[in-house]
């Protein structure tokens, strides 16, 4: 099974989730998404696996959320996805994916259900 973590090493929850995976014998592919944001195709897949709308994956307290006008409820999904790709800090973290599942590691134990 391939496990990928979209990881921010500066985030304590992301570090805890990575440690939890390793402690459970999983050696995940680590994607530091702030340095290498997901593509539109990758992010669409993540959203589908999480069964979330783009806005539900966004960190609404980030300054970019307000400054970019992303609180406008009339924005369509493609606009929100484009915003997360161009400003990946807007994405909730960490995200762990497998071939057929995904989970947000908040709390880190959430990922145990997919591994």
- Domains of the chain and any CATH numbers: 4-114 (3.40.30.10)
**Tens digit of each residue's pLDDT (9 = 90 or more) over 3-45:** 999 999 999 999 999 999 999 999 999 999 999 999 999 999 9
pLDDT band at 67; cut points 50, 70, 90: very high
**What's the mean per-residue pLDDT of the chain?**
97
What percent of the chain has pLDDT above 70?
A: 100
Q: pTM for the complete prediction?
A: 0.95
Q: Indicate the pairing of strand 95-97 with strand 29-32.
A: unpaired
- Give the residue numbers marked as catalytic: 11
Residues 6+ apart with CB under 8 A from 84: 37, 43, 54, 57, 58, 90, 91
Sign, Cα dihedral of 18, 22, 23, 26: positive
In the block, tokens 């924005």 appear at 75
């Amino acid at each position: 099974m391939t496990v990928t973590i979209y990881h921010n090493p500066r985030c304590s929850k992301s570090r805890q989730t990575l440690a939890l995976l390793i402690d459970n014998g999983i050696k995940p592919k680590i994607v530091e998404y702030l340095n290498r944001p997901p593509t539109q195709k990758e992010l669409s897949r993540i959203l589908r696996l999480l069964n979330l709308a783009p806005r539900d994956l966004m960190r609404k307290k980030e300054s970019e959320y307000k400054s970019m006008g992303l609180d406008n409820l009339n924005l369509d999904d493609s606009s929100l996805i484009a915003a997360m790709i161009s400003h990946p800090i807007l994405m909730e973290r960490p995200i762990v994916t497998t071939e057929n599942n995904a989970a947000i590691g908040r709390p880190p134990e959430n990922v145990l259900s997919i591994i």
